[in-house]
Amino acid sequence: LSQAEIIDPAVKGTLNVLKSCVKSATVKRVIVTSSAAALFFTGKPMNQDSVVDETWFSDPMICQERKIWYQLSKTLAEIAAWDFAKENGVDMVTIHPGLVIGPFLQPSLSFSVEVILNLVNGNKSSPLSHFSVVDVRDVAEAHIKAFETPSASGRYCLVESSVPLSQVLGILHKLYPTLPLSDKCGEVDIMNLPGFGVSKEKAEGLGIKFIPLEESLKDTVECLKEKEFLLF
């Protein structure tokens, strides 16, 4: 997809929904599904001691320079949404999940689940060297709690674990010792970020009890088996 094909629908689609909400007499609060991609790309130095939280904003210029259009689309869509919400008095909350894994309902694979499938199959290198992961069930619960909790406000990071590829592979090997796991990271890491932490404090304050990474990975693989994407 081209830059325009990714960015225009993200920004215009978000604004169209918000405009409809303003016209409605019954909508009290809007929950926007953003992404951790709108947090991580600030341009400031990061290392394993860095902890990303809700005060971090990706810099559109950094995203543009690196030609990471998905991350740019999420960043621009969030900026546009907050500008619109403030101008029009919309009570809005944004949710920022990392790589979303766990059991899935749709017949096709998302990028996130496909990354796990390729690791387990062992036939493709990983596009990521570092994983900031959250379970889809926690993402769903966060949306509900953000909607139902009167005091919920602003932005919420949603990342259960932020770990290197080696740790993800270690968990998968422990769960499925006979599988031919891929231990290769692609030559081009699409995120190109060092190891870092992500704060869970605000999300936990909303009542989110994060599903552990090992459980999420196991349930992802079991769902892939159930839907016959994996045969073993």
| 130-144 confidence digits (pLDDT tens) | 899 999 999 999 999
Q: Could you tell me which residues come within 8 angstroms of residue 230 by beta carbon, excluding any fewer than 6 positions away?
A: 117, 120, 121, 221, 224
Catalytic site residues? Answer: 74
pLDDT tens-digit readout, 42-70: 988 888 889 999 999 999 999 999 999 99
Q: Is there a contact between 60 and 121 (Cβ–Cβ < 8 Å)? A: no
Residue 24 Cα to chain centre, angstroms = 29
Task: Please give, one letter per residue, the 3-state secondary structure of 46-77.
Answer: CCCCCEECCCCCCCHHHHHHCCCHHHHHHHHH
Torsion of CA 55, 137, 100, 70, to 10 degrees: -60
Which helix (H) or strand (E) segment is 225 a member of? helix 213-226
Residue with tokens 């001691």: 49
Q: Which one, of 154, 167, 227, lies nearest residue 195 by Cα?
A: 167
Helix (H, G, I), strand (E, B) or coil at 188: coil
Question: Based on C-alpha coordinates, what's the Rg of the chain?
Answer: 18
The verdict on pTM exceeding 0.85 is yes
Residue 1: pLDDT band by 50, 70, 90 thresholds?
low
Dist CA 200 CA 141 (whole Å): 14
Q: Given 3-state DSSP classes, what are the helix, strand and coil percentages for the chain, each rounded to the nearest 5?
A: 45, 15, 40
Query: Quick check: 124 pLDDT over 50?
Result: yes
User: What residues does each domain of the chain span?
Assistant: 3-226
- Strand-pair partners of 96: 157
pLDDT at 188 over 50: no
Q: Which of 120, 123, 130 is nearest to 36 (CA)?
A: 130
**What pLDDT does 193 receive?**
62
Topology given in CATH for the domain delimited by 3-226: Rossmann fold (3.40.50)
